Amino acid sequence: MIEKNLKSELLCPDGKVLIHTLPENKLRLIIQPNHGVFCPAMECETSYTESLVRQIANVKGAAWVCNEIFRDEKKDYLENSLVYGLLGFVREEVFAGKRILDFGCGCGASTSILSRLFPDSEIVGLEYMKDYIDVCESRKEFYGFKNVRFMATPSAGGLPPDLGKFDFVLMCGVFEHLLPDERTGLFIDIWNLLHEGGIMFMNHTPHRYFPLEIHTTSGLPLLNYFPDSIAERYAKTFSKRNLNNMSWNELLRNGIRGSSPDEIIRVLRNNSCNPELLKPRYLDIGDSIDLWYASHGKHSHQGSKLKLYKLLKFFKNITGVELPPYISIAIQKKNQEK
């Protein structure tokens, strides 16, 4: 039945996308990755146009098409995480009429979600890859967003001039990709875009000290407890992904080191900033473990995640340490002490 509805095929360097028609102007995509290519999702359904699907495939490759679509259209994928990661700290009405920066917006999935969540806010998506910005603009046109603007940065480590100040800054799955010098340079520049009293939200960043490195190597144990040289050899030797052709700098850019709330606060304080790490107060969220489970527990492998949730809670009760797989934090820019 599906083969009868085959509309077209799209060949990419990493595989093939089969595009099938469905009722109500929807499409069904089936991914056929090349041998050895990691593919996080092999099929999906979407309301996107074929031209938008093709644009995403040309930019991100066949293997990542469904993942990119899920980030926007599947509520329990990214949207659920943003809802809890923002509204667990700040009430929804507070965002009305405010300026929000989505730094490192990628192809615009997170910005699209922000636009739907906060239609009365001004949202700026910032990204340094020009072809990603082109997809962002296509998504904006597809949805007809009126409160969104996309801008390109001059480089991976720079900011465009005249951005102005923002009430809120979101870094969704971004901080782990910053190189060490960017974590002390560019990050402070981003922080300085906040009004006093403004809030920076950071989520989808792997916790540096979670026992498994689940972002870049697909689950190597204790990798981030090793020094760089040992961690590099360990990752290249034992990861299920083929990392042998990557330098350590490229592995860092791919997010292998993650981060922790303590590291982020320390960077800010060492640069004469005045941050306050907020505690979640709303949506029945009591701590970072609750926040992780509410954000990710229903996405996949629910049974395993519930067991992990209970184990993390037990570990906290014994040690007082909160160690979720991903961090989701809110940091307020306090008035500078005079």
φ/ψ of residue 254, rounded to 5: -80, -5
- Break the chain down into helix, strand, coil percent, rounded to 5: 40, 25, 35
What is the average per-residue pLDDT within 68-93? 95
pLDDT tens column, 93-139 = 999 999 999 999 999 999 999 999 999 999 999 999 999 999 999 99
What is the average per-residue pLDDT within 247-258? 96
Look at residue 12 in the predicted model and tell me its pLDDT.
Answer: 95
More confident residue, 1 or 24: 24
pLDDT tens column, 88-103 = 999 999 999 999 999 9
Look at residue 230 in the predicted model and tell me its pLDDT.
Answer: 97
Domain boundaries, the chain: 11-73, 95-208+259-282+324-333, 209-257
The CATH fold of domain 95-208+259-282+324-333: Rossmann fold (3.40.50)
Beta bridge partners of 122: 99
Look at residue 2 in the predicted model and tell me its pLDDT.
Answer: 46
The residue behind tokens 């961090």 is 327
CA dist., res. 30 & res. 45, Å (int): 9
Look at residue 310 in the predicted model and tell me its pLDDT.
Answer: 95
